């Protein structure tokens, strides 16, 4: 599984989704309790530029290009660097964290907009495998961390619902 290609696919999904959002929808609340749609969009821009190691000074499309270049640069996957509260991580793990964040936020936006929120199964499966490996430490999981604690759901839940629950969200959020 080439995480960089999957990450680019997830970025493209979000680019298409974001292109459909109207300014009058920015105040709608999202499953991310601390953000409305406008704030979530800003988070996507800021964090994507952050993963690229650049200041947030453009659009999400610009950020997507910057992070894709960074992730595809020679030696990036093996390069170990500080990653904030996560500590020192190799680039390959950072790509995985970004993929999970990007895929889950597509669900957040679709739910906030009242749209169907079933995720692409290939992206959801890859993100779920990665999310299951995120440690349950205060730096990584919790109300103020990058991801919340997993939510209990039925054993026969859909792939999308399992990923969303693993990210600490309630799949039935409306």
Q: Which two tokens stand for residue 129?
A: 């495998």
Q: Which two tokens stand for residue 131?
A: 């999310």
Angstrom CA distances, 49 to 25, 43, 45, 102, stand at 24, 10, 6, 13
pTM of the predicted model as reported, rounded to 2 decimal places:
0.94
Give dist(CA 154, CA 21) in Å, integer: 32
Q: Is residue 173 part of a domain?
A: no
Give dist(CA 65, CA 140) in Å, integer: 26
Angstrom CA distances, 127 to 95, 100, 131, stand at 11, 5, 6
User: How do the pLDDT tens digits run along the chain, 174 residues long?
Assistant: 799 999 999 999 999 999 999 999 999 999 988 899 999 999 999 999 999 999 999 999 999 999 999 999 999 999 998 888 788 999 999 999 999 999 999 999 999 999 998 999 999 999 999 999 987 887 788 887 778 889 999 999 999 999 999 999 999 998
Angle between helices 121-131 and 3-18 (to 10 degrees): 120
**Residue 77 structural domain:** 3-166
- Asked if 139 and 85 count as a contact pair (C-beta separation under 8 A), the reply is yes
Q: Is residue 132 part of a domain?
A: yes
Q: Is residue 61 part of a domain?
A: yes
Lookup result for tokens 């309790």: 33
Q: Is residue 171 part of a domain?
A: no
Give dist(CA 58, CA 104) in Å, integer: 22
- Phi (first) and psi of residue 6, to 5 degrees: -65, -40
The count of domains in the chain is 1
DSSP assignment letter at 138: T
Q: Is residue 115 part of a domain?
A: yes
Give dist(CA 171, CA 6) in Å, integer: 23
Q: Is residue 174 part of a domain?
A: no
């Amino acid at each position: 599984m080439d995480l960089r290609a999957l990450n680019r696919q997830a970025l493209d999904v979000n680019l298409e989704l974001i292109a459909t959002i109207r300014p009058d929808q920015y105040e709608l609340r999202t499953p991310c309790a601390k953000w409305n749609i406008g704030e979530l969009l800003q988070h996507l821009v800021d964090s994507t530029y952050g993963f690229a190691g650049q200041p947030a000074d453009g659009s999400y499309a610009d950020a997507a290009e910057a992070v894709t270049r960074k992730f595809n640069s020679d030696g990036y996957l093996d390069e170990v660097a500080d990653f904030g509260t996560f500590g020192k991580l190799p680039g390959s793990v950072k790509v995985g964290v970004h993929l999970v964040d990007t895929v889950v936020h597509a669900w957040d936006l679709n739910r906030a907009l009242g749209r169907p929120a079933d995720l692409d199964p290939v992206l959801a499966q890859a993100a779920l495998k990665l999310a299951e490996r995120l440690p349950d430490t205060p730096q990584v999981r919790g109300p103020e961390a990058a991801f919340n604690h997993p939510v209990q759901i039925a054993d026969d839940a859909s792939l999308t619902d399992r990923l969303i629950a693993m990210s600490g969200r309630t799949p039935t959020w409306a």
